[in-house]
Amino acid sequence: MEAYEEGLVLYTCWPCSQKNEWHRLMQQWIKAIEAGDRVAQKALYQDVQQLYYSTRTFHSRWRSLLSSLPSLFVVLAAILFVREAIVATYHVPTGSMRPTIREGDWILASQCDYGINIPFYRGHFVFNPSLIPRGSIVTFAVDQSITPHPYESYFGFFKMGKHFVKRCVALPEDRIYFYGGALYGIDAADHLFVLDSEEHIPYIRLEGRMHVQRNVTTISQMGVPLVRATSSPEAHITLERWDGNRWVPCHDKRNHLSPYDPHQHAVWGTYGVAQARLDLSGTTPGSEGKEGPILGHLQLFSLPPLWDRASWIIGNGHPEVLLQQSSIPLEQQHVEKIMRYLSTVRFVVRDGYASPYGQKVAEWSRIPFHGVGDGTYELLDGVGYSLDLWNRATQLPSTHPLMQVNPQNVQRLFNLGVDFRSAVMRPSDPVLPSRYVYFREGHLCLFNQVIFSKDDPLLKQYVKDQQRTLQGIVDAGKPSKADILSFGFSVPQGHVLMLGDQYAISEDSRAFGCVPIEYLKGHALWKIWPLSRVGLLAQPPITLLSSPHTIIVGVIASIISLIYLRRWKRWKKAKQHLATLKPPLLPPVDEQEHESERTLDC
């Protein structure tokens, strides 16, 4: 009976020869039942079993593969649907989102919080940018306009497009301005907003992206050209600025900008920030501060007014920007504050030399860290950690060589920058470390913390000297609404502005410009690895009752309904076959029981 019933289920998959054999056996079986021949019934039953098992073997070897192909395609389509439209996991190899997301972390992202993605294509079936809260962590696809290597190879030959993870800080038609480590903006509805939970810096490098073509130098920030300098054979420099549509000569009186107005040369806040380097080479003889001897200086490098010819020189056959330099003395209290808030990327120490984590560097560029044991380390807000193979962090004791608050160690860690570059260790190196200083309401800040209060005599003297020499950064104060509208950066329609939390090493919109909304893919929600840091990512809440969520729920419900409907139809069809083909069978008996019944009849 088991072979008979299961044979009915497989009946529709059999070839014609097996179907004909099945019908022949069924007819003989019915005749044997009508004749009351139990021996024939048992023999035919065994034939049915043999046909079933032989057919099942044939089915499993050849036809099972063909019959399973639709199921495999359905499973593959379901996986792709889930990954592209519902949820996906991403591996973050770099520290551009530190400390929110660190090197080697795995995150879980919702793919339907803002829209419904088109699989394997940059675009959406449905998308609503108003569903993106400013400050959300977003994943997006990239191409060669964003990164020169937009693909990743798997197994040596299978390529897939890369995805970046950044924080979305501005939506289409927003105007933004950087001040004091915060981002001030005005949205399309003329409402003011401020993002100050993360530290925001308006550039990665002072000069931005510099494009040199023969005797012409073009400087761009945020993917937008700012100024173009052209040198003549007579060593004369002609300056032009980009007004959004065309290049305008800077000497035109109608477009003249005064080099002494901090807001006119702000360029969405870039002139209020300086790159910094420590020089703690020794105490200056005879120099005393209010709290003790002067241990060294904090060197500041800032942009000059780019529209002023005095800010340019001709070097290597083309115009170059002459950076402004200034310095502020440091006492022991300032050095201790710097060490208290210092952060670095993850780095590896081997045989007394250090290199950035996950990067191959030449032997000559390795950084000497004698006395530090082999291992993987990082500093976060002045706290040092060592990490094991599973990225589990253990806090370093205060006696560890990396945690010593002495001028040599502080200068080395500071001047290596967040990105840990060996070319910026010495105070005389031309490459500047990725450390940024700015004013905030009169205070001088570093690492988003106040290092010099506005009442500090050293800072007061610096401000006084700067007003006289015009060679340092200036505190222009919080931008007003008029300042943001006049000098802020405008996000184009159909684009969003993406920034990394670790601004010093993040390749984001400050380098490649605003990101088209069709590139956006998902909303990062959770850290899922390592287990010691599993949890929700810090960001604004999202809208749960949205059109993309409603559509996805409807699609899933429809798919489940179709699956159950198809199964119900298959079982109904099987029952119809059973009712049509199943004869009134008697259970088979063995030969001994059959012989005993014949003896009794005699």
Is 202 inside a domain boundary? no
Q: Is 267 left (phi over 0), alpha (psi -120 to 50) or beta?
A: left
**Residue 354 and residue 382 share a domain:** yes
> Which residue range is the domain that position 242 belongs to?
209-481
The Cα–Cα gap between 137 and 157 comes to 31
**Residue 245 and residue 158 share a domain:** no
- The alpha carbon torsion through 328, 333, 335, 340 (nearest 10 deg) reads -130
Place of tokens 């860290």: 369
- pLDDT tens digits, one per residue of 46-87: 887 777 666 555 455 556 666 677 778 888 888 888 888 889
Computed from CA positions of residues 386, 392, 398, 399, in that sequence, does the dihedral angle turn out positive or negative? negative
**DSSP letter, residue 424:** G
Cα–Cα separations (whole angstroms), residue 437 to 18, 152, 206, 339, 524: 83, 36, 12, 15, 30
Cα–Cα separations (whole angstroms), residue 600 to 40, 567, 586, 594: 20, 50, 20, 10
The Cα–Cα gap between 111 and 117 comes to 7
The Cα–Cα gap between 256 and 499 comes to 32
Nearest to 270 by CA among 414, 474, 506, 501: 474
- pLDDT tens digits, one per residue of 438-477: 999 999 999 999 999 999 999 999 999 888 887 788 888 8
What confidence category does residue 584 fall into, taking pLDDT thresholds of 50, 70 and 90? very low
**DSSP letter, residue 433:** P
**Residue 222 and residue 108 share a domain:** no
**Residue 403 and residue 281 share a domain:** yes
Tally the domains of the chain. 3
Computed from CA positions of residues 356, 362, 363, 367, in that sequence, does the dihedral angle turn out positive or negative? negative
What confidence category does residue 577 fall into, taking pLDDT thresholds of 50, 70 and 90? low
**Residue 370 and residue 339 share a domain:** yes
Is 192 inside a domain boundary? no
What confidence category does residue 310 fall into, taking pLDDT thresholds of 50, 70 and 90? confident
**Residue 475 and residue 592 share a domain:** no
What confidence category does residue 413 fall into, taking pLDDT thresholds of 50, 70 and 90? very high
Cα–Cα separations (whole angstroms), residue 475 to 8, 11, 103, 453, 466: 86, 85, 35, 13, 11
Is 452 inside a domain boundary? yes
Cα–Cα separations (whole angstroms), residue 498 to 25, 137, 172, 511, 590: 73, 9, 12, 10, 80
Is 548 inside a domain boundary? no
The Cα–Cα gap between 572 and 591 comes to 38
Computed from CA positions of residues 137, 140, 146, 151, in that sequence, does the dihedral angle turn out positive or negative? positive
Alpha helices in 203-361 (DSSP H): 332-340
**Residue 475 and residue 518 share a domain:** no
Token couple for 393? 């962090």
**Residue 144 and residue 49 share a domain:** no
Is 179 inside a domain boundary? no
Computed from CA positions of residues 555, 556, 559, 564, in that sequence, does the dihedral angle turn out positive or negative? negative
Token couple for 520? 């956006």
Is 191 inside a domain boundary? no
The Cα–Cα gap between 463 and 173 comes to 36
CB-CB contact of 536 with 136 (8 Å):
no
CATH number of the domain where residue 506 is located? 2.10.109.10
Q: What is the predicted pLDDT for the residue at 426?
A: 53
**Residue 123 and residue 45 share a domain:** no
- Chosen domain end from 433, 462, 481: 481
The Cα–Cα gap between 527 and 141 comes to 20
The per-residue DSSP string of 113-176 comes to SSEEEPTTSS-EEEE-GGGS-TTEEEEEE--TTT-S--EEEETTTEEEE-EEEEEEEE-TT-EE
**DSSP letter, residue 95:** S
**Residue 300 and residue 379 share a domain:** yes
- pLDDT tens digits, one per residue of 156-202: 566 778 899 999 999 999 999 999 999 999 999 999 999 998 899 99
Label the pairing between strands 87-92 and 105-110.
antiparallel
**Residue 297 and residue 162 share a domain:** no
Q: What is the predicted pLDDT for the residue at 364?
A: 62
- pLDDT tens digits, one per residue of 254-268: 344 444 444 445 678
Is 203 inside a domain boundary? no
Alpha-carbon Rg of the chain, whole angstroms? 36
Most confident of 134-143, 153-162, 478-487: 134-143
**Residue 72 and residue 91 share a domain:** no
Is 580 inside a domain boundary? yes
The Cα–Cα gap between 50 and 18 comes to 12
No. of helices (H) and no. of strands (E), the chain: 11, 35
